Amino acid sequence: MNRTSESDIVLSSISNLRKDYDEVLGLLRDEDNRQRNNTLLWIFKPFLRALFNYTPFMPKDKSTLLTKITSSSLLQHLGIIGIIFNNSNLLNNLLWIAAIVFFIISVVINFKREVTIYDEYFDISAFRNLEKVIHTKLVSKYVESAPFTFNLLYDYIRDLIQNSSEHLAQMIKDNKQKEEENSNLRQELERAKVTVSSMRRSLNHQINLQSHLNRTILRITEGTFDKDDLMIVCEFSLFKEEGDKLTLDASHGLTRTPTELKIDELSDRQKDWAVIRAYLDEKEGIYDDESHNRKVVSKRFQMTDNTIYVYSFHYDSNRENDYGIIKTQEAIKTLYTLISFWHSQHTISEEGKHDENRSIKKRN
């Protein structure tokens, strides 16, 4: 049973009690206050009424007609009148017996009427003595608790329940608001953690890239720069456009990468490779695939002399942090610088070979 239905039952029960109980107990309280001390008149009144009550049909009397008649002296007096005007000894004896019986009945009924609430003959002294248990346990307690009433109790509990409900509703509202505030704070904290983590990774990426670039510059000055210096994060492949095909110009840590890809002879599967999609995109977007049981991320680079290279990162799926580095502007710029140097170095080398060949031809 929920709290709302319990409070409704309590209010309904008190509401049913308050009218009748307040009226009855209020009457007893007033009588008790009016006549605080017991008198012995209540003992004699039933006998006197049985002898001298000639007004059984009082309009203010709410008793039944039978009660009015039997509690009055009417029947006894009728018996006595019959005795006076009757000469038969037997009938006189019967009338005397009837008069005495009616007298006793009248006395008993009058005693009962003295303890009957709302009766015209109700007497608080008789009630105290003849209904001692009820008076002690109920009436006296009600009198002592004045000005208590069940109506007052009903109003108090109703207001208490109403205030409690309003207070509970406000508490629920406040608690919900605090939960929302806490939820917002937790979300902000999580976003802050993500931001800090992202900044930390970005800083580490920049440090790693800068460190790699510094080592590469040192190797360039020493004349030891080679293809392995193109690896900035993980294994890689570098394809170069040569006519209608792409040839593998450099790689590291790869064994199954084809040495050339003819653009006009590609299979449907090869057309979905990241290296092909990147090569065909003149806007030089970044593409990825998992065609070789590894993740591959490819990016097209166009040199100043319009030579096209496609650089591809090859890394395992358990190295997701590498993916964040690959797509940073710092990594793209570093790659462009390294590929440009690689390209210029190879261009100079090829030009030197051509010059050497021309010199040999002239000597011959």
Cis amide prior to 46 (ω within 30 degrees): no
| Residue 85 is assigned to a structural domain of this protein | yes
Q: Give the end of a domain, one of 148, 177, 212.
A: 148
For residues 245-272, give the mean pLDDT: 89
Name which residue leads in pLDDT, 166 or 88.
166
Position 1 scores a pLDDT of: 46
Query: 65, 85 in Cβ contact below 8 A?
Result: no
| Residue 278 is assigned to a structural domain of this protein | yes
Q: What confidence tens digit (pLDDT) does each residue in 108-159 have?
A: 888 888 777 777 777 777 777 777 777 666 666 666 666 666 667 767 777 7
In the chain, how many domains are there?
A: 2
The CATH number covering residue 311 comes to: 3.30.450.40
**Is the predicted pLDDT of residue 58 greater than 60, yes or no?**
no
**Is the predicted pLDDT of residue 86 greater than 80, yes or no?**
no
Q: Give the end of a domain, one of 148, 172, 199.
A: 148
Position 320 scores a pLDDT of: 62
Q: What confidence tens digit (pLDDT) does each residue in 165-193 have?
A: 677 677 778 788 888 888 888 888 888 88
Q: Are residues 137 and 261 in the same domain?
A: no
Q: Are residues 246 and 341 in the same domain?
A: yes
| Residue 107 is assigned to a structural domain of this protein | yes
Task: Read off the pTM.
Answer: 0.46
| Residue 182 is assigned to a structural domain of this protein | no
| Residue 14 is assigned to a structural domain of this protein | no
Position 79 scores a pLDDT of: 63
In which band, very low, low, confident or very high, does the pLDDT at 303 lie, cut at 50, 70 and 90? Answer: very high
The residue range of the domain holding 267 is 227-363
Q: Are residues 243 and 356 in the same domain?
A: yes
Least confident of 95-104, 170-179, 196-205: 196-205
| Residue 251 is assigned to a structural domain of this protein | yes
**Is the predicted pLDDT of residue 278 greater than 70, yes or no?**
yes
